[in-house]
Amino acid sequence: MHVAWLRSVVNPPASLSVMSRYGWSAFQALRSVSEGDVLQNLLAVDWSTFFARDVLQENPRSLQRLRNLFGRDTVAAKELIAAYEPALLSTVQHMMRLQGPPGRPPGQNGPLHFCGTFGWSQVAAELTSIPKARVSLLGPGDHGLRPSACAAAAGHWRLARRLRSHEDEADEAEADAQLKYENSENSENSEHSGPLLLPSPASPASPDWAELSLPEVHLDLPAVLPIPCVERNISFAEFMQYFRTKRPFLIRKGLAVSASARALLDALDRSDLDGAVGSIPYAHDFMPRVARQADGLQEVLQGHAYLFLEIERETRLEELVQTYGLFGMRSWFNFDQELHSVLQVSLGQSGTGAPWHWHQDAFNVCLAGERAWFLKPPAEALMSRRPVSQGLPHLAGSYFAKQRHGDVLYVPELWSHAVVNLMLSSSLAFEFGTGSQPEK
């Protein structure tokens, strides 16, 4: 391995001040990878998430040309990309000048796939200008989408056309992969056959949630678009029609097991885990104080805070989750690779919720209560630190769904979303992916 080449990549020149300042913790992770993995790991990171966290929490005293981004409570992903992509491009060019390997490193995802996913037009143009790398840099991605399809889903049409012009030579490999998928889907013994959700006995909603809830919130909605709704007997093949094209959808009554408020509160009270209790339920960089659930539950029930807790294995809460059956999901998410998954529980009174943010693919099941969801595609993604109690900006044109007890919502990777609890509500969120996305 060319040690000098690797060292120069992970210690970028002074001109790359944006990349060296923002997301540096992620950039340092490249030190542990081999030379052939550097380009892959560099482009597998959603730099806009790291950049958003820095922009939303710091004072406008940093780089002069970036001052217009600071001091806000909400920032758009496309603004972030415009600010840092030149530095990312310089890093890639620096790697190429030092004769870094242009071929696709090991793994199912190719660098151009990430360019399409994250909307890096300039970087994609640089990579596709290298003839010997055109095909080797392509990859179908873990969810079967081509780089051009990812770019189109993110709203980058010129980038999509550019990438599509370089994909013809990859058709044969993609056809083989599609045939393998179809054989798996049609196999009688395949875990992908049959319904997405396992049968579970229906039970009425627990009445004690209404007893503990503050008055219900009524929203004055602007013009919004409906999120498609499907019945709980959706098949795996039907689900893949949404998943492969990264479209959100709501499964009505996907969870048929009732959640008792008393049982959940008791489990939280006895839990020895620490979680976020505050006005914003994610991104510890922005908000919150961290408290034991026993100290924060009363504040949550009074409507002053929102509880957001990651569930670890071998805890009292995991036993409760198993009781709910984790939505009765089949093990359909085995894509022949190790998945990075996060399981979280939330609890909040009416009027609380989560402002705009994005992360990896996720299912969110409403254990009890009622919640209003707003989603925007990656091309319009927003990150915000404004508490929901102060209002949600930029709702017009969003996709919208009202989630009730038992409903399961699929939120695609990089789709920005915000949620408002219309009454005392609790939910389970299951995030899953290959680990390329930062945890939220």
Helix residue ranges per DSSP H, 306-436:
316-324
Burial of 319 by CB count in 10 Å (0-12 exposed, 13-18 middle, 19+ buried)? exposed
Asked if residue 350 lies in contact with residue 423, where contact means CB atoms within 8 angstroms, the answer is yes
Phi and psi based region of residue 133 (left: phi greater than 0; alpha: psi -120 to 50; beta: remaining): alpha
247-272 per-residue burial string, b: 16 or more CB within 10 A, e: under 16: bbbbbeebbbebbbbeebbebbeebe
Q: What are phi and psi of 300, to 5 degrees?
A: -65, -45
* Tens-digit pLDDT profile for residues 342-400: 778 888 889 989 999 998 888 888 888 899 999 999 889 999 988 888 888 899 889 99
The residue type at 368: A
Reduced to 3 states (helix: H, G, I; strand: E, B; else coil), residue 284 is coil
Helix residue ranges per DSSP H, 258-345:
261-270, 293-301, 316-324
- CATH dotted code for 208-433: 2.60.120.10
Pick the CATH number of 3-177 from 1.10.10, 1.20.1070, 3.30.160, 1.25.40: 1.25.40
Helix, strand counts (H, E) of the chain: 16, 16
Which carries the bigger pLDDT value, residue 44 or residue 229?
Answer: 229
pLDDT attached to residue 365: 85
Q: How many CB atoms lie within 10 A of CB 342?
A: 16
* Tens-digit pLDDT profile for residues 315-354: 555 555 555 544 444 444 443 344 456 778 888 889 989 9
Which carries the bigger pLDDT value, residue 99 or residue 297?
Answer: 297
Rounded to whole angstroms, how far apart are CA atoms 63 and 69? 10
* Tens-digit pLDDT profile for residues 105-129: 444 567 888 888 888 988 888 887 7
Domain ranges, ordered by start, for the chain: 3-177, 208-433
Task: Find, among 274, 270, 267, 291, the residue nearest to 426 by Cα.
Answer: 267
* Tens-digit pLDDT profile for residues 175-205: 555 556 555 545 444 445 555 565 555 555 5
